[in-house]
Structure 1
Amino acid sequence: MFCLFLFLIVGLEQIYSQCSMCRAVLQSEEGQATAKGINNGILYLMAIPYLLVAFVGWKVFQILKK
């Protein structure tokens, strides 16, 4: 468990560096189409877990209802 925690902490530096690069590209004039694409991707990534949890909850409800 400690190794996983250490791996995640060490990886944060690379994550933050990529965020600043994305921000710079998306704030430029040429990055407007890219920004729309990234925003759509974020919405898809955000929606999928909620849909999966709702589906599993619905199935559990159906099983318990019987």
Structure 2
Amino acid sequence: MKNKISFLVISVLFTIHSNAQCAMCRAVLENEEGQTAAKGINNGIVYLMSIPYILVFGLGFFIYWKYFKVKKNKTI
């Protein structure tokens, strides 16, 4: 139980630290005139965030498909 609490506290501290870095990047990008770099950063974040979700969804669908295909063949 003591390990779980210490892990939770350390995780929260790392999360607080990472939010500060995002705020710094945001402050730098908001000061730009045309906002083209900010749009590029936002598009890059969405692109980088979507790839893992697509891969996990694909793997989950593959496992689901194989599991129910095997289960259906056993009932016949």
TM-score for the superposition, normalised by structure 2:
0.61
Q: C-alpha distance in 1, partners of 2:36/2:19?
A: 23
**How many corresponding residue pairs?**
66
In the superposition, the TM-score normalised over structure 1's length comes to 0.67
Aligned-residue Cα RMSD (Å) equals 2.3
Quote the offset at 1:49 in angstroms.
2.7
Q: Which runs of 4+ in 1 moved over 4 A?
A: none
1:16 aligns with 19
For structure 2, list consecutive stretches of 5 or more residues without a partner in the other structure. 71-76
Q: Tell me, which stretches of 5 or more residues in structure 1 are unaligned? A: none
Larger radius of gyration: 2
| Structural mapping, 1:1-66, within 5 Å | 1-29=4-32, 32-64=35-67, 65-66=69-70
